[in-house]
Amino acid sequence: KAGVTQTPRYLIKTRGQQVTLSCSPISGHRSVSWYQQTPGQGLQFLFEYFSETQRNKGNFPGRFSGRQFSNSRSEMNVSTLELGDSALYLCASSPWTASNEQFFGPGTRLTVL
Amino acid sequence: AQTVTQSQPEMSVQEAETVTLSCTYDTSESNYYLFWYKQPPSRQMILVIRQEAYKQQNATENRFSVNFQKAAKSFSLKISDSQLGDTAMYFCAFMGEGGGADGLTFGKGTHLIIQP
């Protein structure tokens, strides 16, 4: 079974631009969670999607949004990029929303200049 | 809100030694899950071990075992016969009763270095 895939793996943007990151979960998994990892704040929960619905969101501004498609693939979008958005963005796949099993993808490294 | 604290930013041991990583947490929930994740230089997060709070028996996975003290809210990871490939960041994480919908709460991590 293929693991979680994230694209692109690396991305460089400039302040003010917007970016879209993609995550394909493990086949059969219906829940996708997103996390941001920075040296200063560590790993923080962004949001979780299940059955195309956002179930929960962490403490992030409205510039951070996401969506999930009927095939469970998820995208997250960050608008009006700031320097502080530079981070490793990790996606995690779970069989269902209440599952305690989360399988992580390799991450997307976003650099904002 | 729950918090997870890892008090050891970095640890270094010799190959084949046993090492214990500390983790404490704070929560008002009675049913929850605790995890140790490993993040090697590749940045891929790998689940090392999982503990369900309602289970009194400590989880073990080959060379990895935990010491779960629910009353003390302590969840340490013991790595026996450490290997060079164990060098990585180790994160302690908490998940509440809501499961994935609530997300994982991570500690700041411990950088473990295994010396040859």
Sole residue written with tokens 């693939």: A73
Q: Least CA distance to B94: which residue of chain A? A: A100
Q: What end-to-end distance do the CA atoms of chain A give, in Å?
A: 37
Nearest CA-CA distance, residue B20 and chain A, Å: 21
Yes or no: say if B31 and B99 are a contact pair by the CB < 8 Å rule.
no
| Of A63 and A1, more confident | A63
| Of A99 and B3, more confident | B3
Q: Least CA distance to A34: which residue of chain B? A: B103
User: Which residues lie below 8 Å from residue B82, measured CB to CB, with a gap of 6+?
Assistant: B13, B14, B15, B16, B17, B18, B19, B63, B114
Give the closest residue to A55 by CA, choosing from B5, B101, B12: B101
Nearest CA-CA distance, residue A45 and chain B, Å: 6
A48 with B101: Cβ contact below 8 A: yes
Inform me whether the pLDDT recorded for A43 exceeds 70.
Answer: yes
Angle made by CA atoms B78, B82, B86, in degrees to the nearest 5: 90
- State whether residue B91 sits within 8 Å of chain A by CB: yes
- In three-state secondary structure terms, A6 is strand
Cα separation of B28 and B14, whole Å? 38
Give pLDDT, residue B79.
98
- In three-state secondary structure terms, B73 is coil
Inform me whether the pLDDT recorded for A71 exceeds 80.
Answer: yes
Inform me whether the pLDDT recorded for B100 exceeds 70.
Answer: no
Q: Least CA distance to A39: which residue of chain B? A: B108
| Region A62-91 average pLDDT | 97
Q: Least CA distance to A87: which residue of chain B? A: B43
- In three-state secondary structure terms, B101 is helix
Burial class (CB in 10 A: 0-12, 13-18, 19+), A34: buried
| Of A95 and A46, more confident | A46
- Which residues of chain A does B100 touch, with a Cβ-Cβ cutoff of 8 Å? 31, 33, 48, 50, 92, 94, 96-100, 102
In chain A the beta strands, taken as DSSP E runs, fall at 5-7, 10-13, 19-24, 31-38, 42-50, 53-57, 64-68, 74-78, 87-94, 103-104, 108-112
Whether residue A8 has a cis bond before it, omega within 30° of 0: yes
Count of CB contacts below 8 A, A vs B? 72
Q: Which amino acid is at B46?
A: I
User: Which residues lie below 8 Å from residue A98, measured CB to CB, with a gap of 6+?
Assistant: B98, B99, B100, B101
Inform me whether the pLDDT recorded for A46 exceeds 80.
Answer: yes
For the segment B18-77, what is each residue's pLDDT rounded down to a tens digit?
A: 999 999 999 998 889 999 999 999 899 999 999 999 988 999 999 999 999 999 999 999
- Which residues of chain B does A48 touch, with a Cβ-Cβ cutoff of 8 Å? 100-103
| Region A47-60 average pLDDT | 92
Q: Which amino acid is at A57?
A: K
Minimum-distance CB partner of B103 among A58, A96, A99 = A58
| Of B102 and A43, more confident | A43
| Region A65-80 average pLDDT | 97
What are the residues of chain A with a beta carbon less than 8 Å away from any beta carbon of chain B? 31, 33, 35, 42-46, 48, 50, 55-56, 58, 88, 90, 92, 94, 96-104, 106-107, 109
Give pLDDT, residue A95.
87
Give pLDDT, residue B98.
73
* φ, ψ dihedrals at A99, nearest 5°: -70, 145
Yes or no: say if A27 and A1 are a contact pair by the CB < 8 Å rule.
yes
Nearest CA-CA distance, residue A107 and chain B, Å: 7
